[in-house]
Amino acid sequence: MLAFLKRASQTDILTIIAQRGWQAGSGLVTVILVAHFLSPVQQGWYYSFLSLAAIYTLFDLGLSSVLIQLTAHLFVSTRWLDDGGTAGDAKDRFDALVRMSARLYVALAAAFFALLLPCGIAFFHWHGTADTLPIGDWLPAWILLAFATTAGIPIVPFLAFIEGSGRVKEAYRVRLAQGVAGAICAWLAIALGKGLWAPALPALTGALVGGAWLLARRPGLLASARSRTHRATLSWRREIWPLQWRIGLSWLSGYLLTQIYTPILFHSQGAVVAGQMGLSLTIANMLGLLAQSWIARRVPAMAQAASRRDWRRLDTLFRHDFGFATLAFAVGALGLTVARIALDATPFGARLLPPAPFVGLLLVVGLGNSVNMLSAQLRSFRREPLFWVAIAGACMTVPLSIWAADRYSAAGVVLAMLCVQALFIVPVSAIVWRRCNLSWRTPF
């Protein structure tokens, strides 16, 4: 049995690395194509589009992360059937969770579209710099992006159920297929001179691929979502909301700590500087996604270990993969630093932040990854104690960045981000993480 679990874990990490590797590799190709085919102004609009559309994570309200944790606990006594349905002692409670979640995500998608479309139009129409594009060049692309992002939201809970149940490999295979189809379509759009349409295509193809997967491979899960039969009840207020609102606030803070800076610079410094920040942040985040692959595969296993109060296994899983993820990021950051210095003598170097703020951005993302991994371990207890740290950090960083953007451009923004991460968020998060692990269980 142990040998089987070990082989399954190795397969999971290979699948996750393949998916994250594709994200990183395809992202690198996209970066090159954007720099080659888009002007500096169009590059700024491209990444500002992506940053504003990323607000969809706030409408999730942290629910997908909670669903992974809760599903992992329910699948201690539940199993999948061949048609994607379930059986076991917790089947009725799981079906109730599926019904409630599916309906909520449809409502969230509608609210997201109603807010994003007009707010985006207002922001881009009145952003106040000299490099505004004609409305006919960007408005249709923005409408498509809002629609495409909305279409993918109802798929999110189903992937969370699969991942939380321990079928990590299947969930990441679907994400890999979505990523491959989306990247190819985006590359074609950029190469054909339709660069501002490209941000919408990964979201649109992702919704299509996800829908096809559900219909073909998980019809039983869809049937549970549509069912009107109520064999069991699940209290959202008692079992989900106490963790969800904390994670939701953490996700809001995460958006403010990672995505808001490109629109800030777009507004204060113009599209060119915003494009440099967006491109540099994309590269740093690609490295972060790869490094977190080791922890991502362990989320269901850590939740089940906590449910069984198997503290030794929980510690082993977390410490081993935290070390690997940290080392992987450090090695990758060193390689990116060398590459950025080498590019400084080429025309491509002007599309990125200068070397010093670029390295600072890598440090910001690396420190943020460490905090995210601590949060992932603590969520195994179905709690979110670090949410207030993230909120406080965002409340410090955003006003500092707005002030720094006006006076010191992108370099000032990066310095503000780095100071708050290094001097407040990381040390306080480490203290809270240790105290929680000592008080919630037998000391280790």
Tens digits of residue pLDDT in 185-207: 999 999 998 989 999 999 999 99
Task: Measure the N-to-C terminal CA separation of the chain; round to a whole number of Å.
Answer: 26
Predicted local confidence at residue 3, as pLDDT: 42
Is 301:317 a contact under the CB 8 Å cutoff? yes
Q: Identify which has the larger pLDDT, 135 or 431.
A: 431
Place of tokens 């922890």: 295
Confidence at residue 129, expressed as pLDDT on a 0 to 100 scale: 52
- Is 350 inside any structural domain? yes
pLDDT over 80 (residue 244) = no
pLDDT in tens, 318-336: 888 898 889 999 999 999 9
Question: What local confidence, expressed as pLDDT, does residue 379 receive?
Answer: 81
Query: Does the residue 234 lie in any domain?
Result: yes
How many percent of the chain have pLDDT more than 90? 35
Could you tell me whether strands 86-88 and 78-80 are parallel, antiparallel, or unpaired per DSSP bridges? antiparallel
Sequence-distant (≥ 6) Cβ neighbours of residue 350 within 8 angstroms? 40
What is the pLDDT, as a whole number, of residue 2?
38
User: Taking each helix axis from N to C terminus, what angle separates 387-420 and 426-439, rounded to the nearest 10 degrees?
Assistant: 150
> In whole angstroms, what is the distance from residue 277 CA to residue 293 CA?
24
Q: Is residue 177 part of a domain?
A: yes
Exposure string (b/e) for 77-91, b if CB count within 10 Å is 16 or more? ebebeeebbbebebb
- Whether 159 contacts 60, CB under 8 Å: no
pLDDT at 180 over 90: yes
Q: What is the mean predicted confidence (pLDDT) over 110-114?
A: 92
Mean pLDDT of 71-85: 84
Q: Kindly tell me if the per-residue pLDDT of 59 is higher than 80.
A: no
C-alpha 204/C-alpha 198 separation (Å) is 10
103 and 11 in contact (C-beta within 8 Å)? no
Question: Quick one: average pLDDT of 48-53?
Answer: 87
Closest CA to 374 of 312, 420, 432: 432
Query: Which positions ≥6 away from 110 have C-beta within 8 Å?
Result: 150
180 domain-assigned: yes
Q: Do 62 and 244 contact (CB within 8 A), yes or no?
A: yes
Tokens matching residue 321: 């993969």
Predicted local confidence at residue 73, as pLDDT: 80
Average pLDDT over residues 56-82: 81
* Per-residue pLDDT at 374: 92
67-71, 118-122, 420-424 — which is least confidently predicted?
67-71
User: Percent helix, strand and coil across the chain, each rounded to 5?
Assistant: 85, 0, 15
Confidence band of 439 (pLDDT split at 50, 70, 90):
confident
pLDDT of 6 reads: 44
Two structure tokens written together for 24 = 């990183």
Residue 4 is predicted with a pLDDT of 34
Give 1's pLDDT tier (boundaries 50, 70, 90). very low
Would you say residue 444 lies in a domain?
no
Average pLDDT over residues 243-252: 70
pLDDT at residue 5, as a whole number:
38
Average pLDDT, the chain: 85
Task: Give pLDDT, residue 380.
Answer: 81
Per-residue pLDDT at 7 exceeds 60 = no
Confidence of residue 17 (pLDDT cuts 50, 70, 90): confident
For the chain, state the CA radius of gyration: 22
Domain count, the chain: 1
pLDDT given at position 443: 47
Tokens 């503290």, located at residue: 311
Please report whether residue 369 resides in a domain.
Answer: yes
What sign does the CA torsion over 212, 213, 217, 221 have? Answer: negative
Token pair for residue 108?
């969230």
- As a whole number of angstroms, the distance between CA 307 and CA 300 comes to 11
Report the distance separating Cα 318 and Cα 282, nearest Å.
27
The lowest-confidence range among 239-248, 270-279, 398-407 is: 239-248
pTM recorded for the entire structure:
0.74
Q: Compute the Cα dihedral for 111, 92, 174, 372 and give only its sign.
A: positive
Greater model confidence, 158 or 27: 158
pLDDT category of residue 26 using cuts at 50, 70 and 90: confident
Write down the pLDDT at residue 64: 84
Containing structural domain, residue 212: 8-439
Of 229, 239, 243, 220, the closest CA to residue 161 belongs to: 220
In a domain, 111, yes or no: yes
Query: Does 320 fall in a domain?
Result: yes
Backbone angles phi, psi at 326, to 5 degrees: -65, -45
Query: Which one of 1-15, 253-267, 365-379 scores highest in mean pLDDT?
Result: 365-379
Are 368 and 288 in contact by the 8 Å Cβ rule? The answer is: yes
